[in-house]
Copies of this chain bind each other. A is one copy, B any other.
Amino acid sequence: MKSAEIIAIGSELLGASRVDTNSLWLTEKLGDIGVEVQLKTVVGDDKARLEEAVADAVKRADVIITTGGLGPTEDDITRTCTANAVGRELAYHDELEANLRERFRAWGREMPEINKRQAYVIAGADILDNPHGSAVGMLLEIGEKRVINLPGPPRENQPMFTNYVLPRLRELVGDVFVVRREMKIVGMGESAVDEIAAPIYTAFEGVQTSILFNKTEVELQIAVRRDSKAEAEAIADDLTAKLSAAFGIAMFTTSGETMEAVVGRLLSERGETVAFAESCTGGLVSRRITEVPGSSEYFLEGLVAYSYPAKVRMLGVRQETLNEFGAVSAECAKEMAEGAVRVSGATHAVSITGIAGPGGGTEDKPVGTVYFAYAGPMGTRAIKLFLPGDRYLIRWRSSQAALDLLRRSLLRRGQ
């Protein structure tokens, strides 16, 4: 397996608020063709350090990729430092200067003299075209090694990598195909998921699995690596089917969909509609369902009834219910959901009422106590959950539980 190193260049990446995210995308694309990233460096606009970083990487790795530092200013030292690190000169390309002048002319501007720097290329390197910016990339072959300089902005470096670099690296490594699947499971933790999944996926060879907990759901990703695409796909399908059977209704997607997209698809397939009555989630469930393009087809309205009077007036919750049981109760949740169906005319409604904190908790109903109700053709039913975390997490987890309650109700009912 070929190894790679990635060097991210730019002093702004050494601050306390920016991370190098280019390397994540590159790592995945390199992984797809069987090239493994073994070291990553972030270095500022510092000639000595950058030269050393490139020279060391060339000693160790088969594929060396730099991102950034190809602009026209003094700070942009990638060209010079890479050339020095590999013992080459820079060569001036008149045709690149002509292209740059043309590009500026098209913008209605004169090319600043400073941009002439961008017409220098490491001697012997192939020039990688950049339709989205003024900095061209470079690809240098040194024996079996490949040194590649890409611009920093993702919208420039990603198409450049896909169009020019990937085919060249494929020549180097031969045919490897990676097929990925992303499954998501709700209502279980990471280790519980792994306990069920491990006996299944470990029976498959050449499959990489990763299990990630993401606020409210566990993402189970598989990557099947084979030298034929059809074979990789057949194995991915087989493994996905086995995992899906093992998790049942808890697995809500095998194709990386969001929970809101899954719920939207189920409603859309049935030609049915929904409304939400939200208290502690404050509009988050409505926001999530409307995140999906085309949601106006099935989402009628959201009623964010934050205060007691709003619950009474908007949803027809009875004052006696609030007095007797409080707003955070199964009774109130049921009346909210039934009220939402009644006033909106939607097929289904789900309500959420709870205590997101940090204040408002009591001994009986501590922060994290949340009631949900479903109302619709499946009747009315309420559930109570205790959700851990801070205000942000409790609200997020509540929104997920509300959508999941709707999903399970829709699936139970069938199509």
Give A292-306 interface residues, CB cut-off 8 Å to B: 293-296, 299-306
**Which B residues lie within 8 Å of A31 (CB)?**
16
Residue contact A28 to B16, C-beta cutoff 8 Å: yes
User: Measured between alpha carbons, how far is A92 from B212 in the docked complex, in Å?
Assistant: 35
- In angstroms, Cα B294 to Cα A228, docked, is 58
B359–A294 touching, CB < 8 Å: yes
Contact in complex: B39, A15 (CB < 8 Å): no
Q: Which of B46, B49, B299, B307 contacts A306 (CB 8 A)?
A: B299
Q: Are B296 and A17 in contact (CB-based, < 8 A)?
A: no
Asked if residues A306 and B310 are in contact (CB atoms below 8 Å), the reply is no
Within A28-54, the residues touching B (CB, 8 Å) are 28, 31, 37-44, 46, 49, 52-53
Bound-state CA distance A210–B220 (Å) is 38
**Structural contact, B303 and A290, CB atoms closer than 8 A:** no
Instruction: Tell me the A304-319 residues at the B interface (CB within 8 Å).
Output: 304-307, 309-310, 313-314
Known: A304-B304, A306-B300. A21 touches B24 (CB 8 A): no
A140 within 8 A of B: no
For A399, the closest partner residue in chain B by CB is: B287
Is there an interface contact between A307 and B301, defined as CB atoms closer than 8 Å?
yes
Q: Does A284 contact B (CB under 8 A)?
A: yes
Q: Which of A261-289 contact B (CB under 8 A)?
A: 276, 278, 280-287, 289
CB distance from A194 to the nearest CB of B (A): 14
A154 within 8 A of B: no
Q: How far is the CB of A332 from chain B (nearest CB, A)?
A: 15
Chain B residues, CB < 8 A from A307 = 296, 300-301
What is the bound-complex CA distance between A52 and B53, given in angstroms?
Answer: 11
Determine if A227 is an interface residue (Cβ-Cβ < 8 Å).
no
Which residue on B lies nearest to A273, using beta carbons? B307
Q: Which residues of B contact A42 (CB under 8 A)?
A: 39-41
Number of this chain's copies in the complex: 2
- Chain B residues within an 8 Å CB radius of A290: 280-283, 304, 306, 395
In the bound assembly, the distance between CA atoms of A296 and B16 in angstroms comes to 35
> How far, in whole Å, are A184 and B214 apart by their CA atoms in the complex?
29
Contact across chains for A17 and B210 when beta carbons are under 8 A apart: yes
Inter-chain contact A391/B302, CB cutoff 8 Å: no
| A197 within 8 Å of B (CB atoms) | no
Which chain B residues border A345 with CB–CB below 8 Å?
309
Chain B residues with CB below 8 A from A287, complex form: 281-284, 286-287, 395
CB distance from A15 to the nearest CB of B (A): 7
Question: Known: A27-B15, A293-B357. Contact between A41 and B41, CB under 8 A?
Answer: yes
Does A358 lie at the interface of the complex (its beta carbon under 8 Å from any beta carbon of B)?
yes
- In the complex, how many angstroms separate the beta carbon of A274 from the nearest chain B beta carbon? 10
Query: Known contacts A27-B14, A31-B16: does B305 contact A283 (CB below 8 Å)?
Result: no
> Are A293 and B359 in contact, with the CB atoms below 8 A?
yes
Instruction: Pick from B43, B286, B306, B391: contact of A282, CB below 8 A.
Output: B286
- The contact of A301 among B294, B295, B306, by CB within 8 Å, is B306
Q: Are B44 and A39 in contact (CB under 8 A)?
A: yes
- Tell me the minimal C-beta distance from A228 to chain B in angstroms: 23
Q: Please state if B343 and A313 are interface contacts (CB–CB under 8 Å).
A: yes
Q: Within the complex, which residue of B27, B37, B293, B302 is in contact with A358, where a contact is CB–CB below 8 Å? A: B293
A-B contact pairs, 7 of them (CB 8 A): A17-B210, A38-B43, A41-B41, A276-B304, A282-B289, A291-B392, A313-B343
B-binding residues in A (CB < 8 A): 14-17, 19-21, 24-25, 27-28, 31, 37-44, 46, 49, 52-53, 56, 60, 210, 212, 276, 278, 280-287, 289-291, 293-296, 299-307, 309-310, 313-314, 343-345, 357-359, 391-392, 395
A282-B286, A283-B285, A299-B306 are known contacts; what are 4 more A-B pairs with Cβ within 8 Å? A283-B304, A293-B358, A302-B306, A313-B343
Which 6 residue pairs are nearest across A and B when measured between Cβ atoms?
A282-B290, A302-B304, A283-B286, A283-B283, A16-B28, A283-B287
